Amino acid sequence: MRTLRTLETRVLGYAIERIDERDHLGTVRATWYEVLCPEHGNVLGSGAARADAERIVIRRELEQARRALPLNAPIMAA
């Protein structure tokens, strides 16, 4: 089996790639989407549909914003 990676889109700097797994005749046997880190290109997660991959990006950004909020709270109060 061969895999073909195709850049689908970029969301907030994260690359979302479609991965097609093909057999020896070139027929697509499986398709999934992977989210790549904007800094290093590491795979952060995968999903069966593009919407699933986009949710991974949004969830990650919201989690980072949530973690940053308590660190900045004392500065905002001053």
Q: Which residues of 63-74 are buried (b: 16+ CB within 10 A; e: fewer)?
A: eeeeeeeeeeee
Please indicate, yes or no, if residue 77 is contained in any of the structural domains.
Answer: no
Please indicate, yes or no, if residue 45 is contained in any of the structural domains.
Answer: yes
Please provide the DSSP assignment of 10-46 as one string. Answer: EETTEEEEEEEEE-TT--EEEEEEEEE-TTT--EEEE
Residue 69, SS3 per DSSP:
helix
What percentage of the chain carries pLDDT values higher than 70? 88
* For residue 76, pLDDT beyond 80: no
Structure confidence by residue, pLDDT tens digits, 7-33: 999 999 999 999 999 999 989 999 999
Count structural domains, the chain: 1
Structure confidence by residue, pLDDT tens digits, 22-66: 999 989 999 999 999 999 999 999 999 999 999 999 999 999 888
User: Looking up tokens 């800094």, which residue turns up?
Assistant: 39
Please indicate, yes or no, if residue 38 is contained in any of the structural domains.
Answer: yes
Distance CA 3, CA 28 (A): 9
pTM of structure: 0.81
Domain interval for residue 65 = 2-72
